[in-house]
Amino acid sequence: MTKLSPTPQIQLPVQASPAQAITSKALASPGSSASTKASRPSQALDPAKIAKSANDFEAMAIGQLLQPMFDTVDSSKGAFGGGPGEEAWKPMLVQEFAKQIAAHGGLGLAKPVYDAMVRMQEANPK
């Protein structure tokens, strides 16, 4: 029988309680740099994160375009349609269709959205 070693203890940084965080934000004046820095942490320009956000946006937009099409289909009269199960799963199906459409070329929204996001981040250095 093998003996397991004890799990190492991990020290987590101490964080302020939500009430303390709200109080410290409320005490900072609205135009002060402290409140601005607290709301927008400085991060380097990450093209991979921006590209993922642009692709996710395109998938969401395609899903919004597909949803009315699926809402007009009356599948309750079919052999496998209708009921609360379909009601619960249909929005997820539409989103997955939208993700696949976006992943395979989509409508071409991701590239302009990506370019706009990069321009905005370059124009507002942190």
pLDDT, one tens digit per residue, over 6-37 is 444 434 444 444 444 444 444 444 444 444 44
pLDDT recorded at residue 9: 41
For the chain, how many structural domains are there in total? Answer: 1
Residue 29 lies in a domain: no
Q: Chain centroid to CA 9: how far?
A: 32
pLDDT recorded at residue 122: 87
Structure tokens at 109: 């929204």
How far is 65 from 49, CA to CA, in rounded Å?
24
What residues make up the domain containing 65? Answer: 44-123
pLDDT recorded at residue 40: 55
Residue 23 lies in a domain: no
Question: To 10 degrees, the CA torsion angle through 52, 53, 56, 62?
Answer: -130
For residues 118 and 112, the answer to whether their CB atoms sit within 8 Å is: no
pLDDT recorded at residue 71: 84
pLDDT recorded at residue 123: 85
Residue 51 lies in a domain: yes
DSSP 89-116: HHHHHHHHHHHHHHHTTTTS-HHHHHHH
Residue 25 lies in a domain: no
How far is 126 from 122, CA to CA, in rounded Å?
9
Using 50 as the pLDDT threshold, list the residues of the chain that sit under it.
Answer: 4-37
pLDDT recorded at residue 44: 67
For residues 55 and 103, the answer to whether their CB atoms sit within 8 Å is: yes
Residue 12 lies in a domain: no
Residue 64 lies in a domain: yes
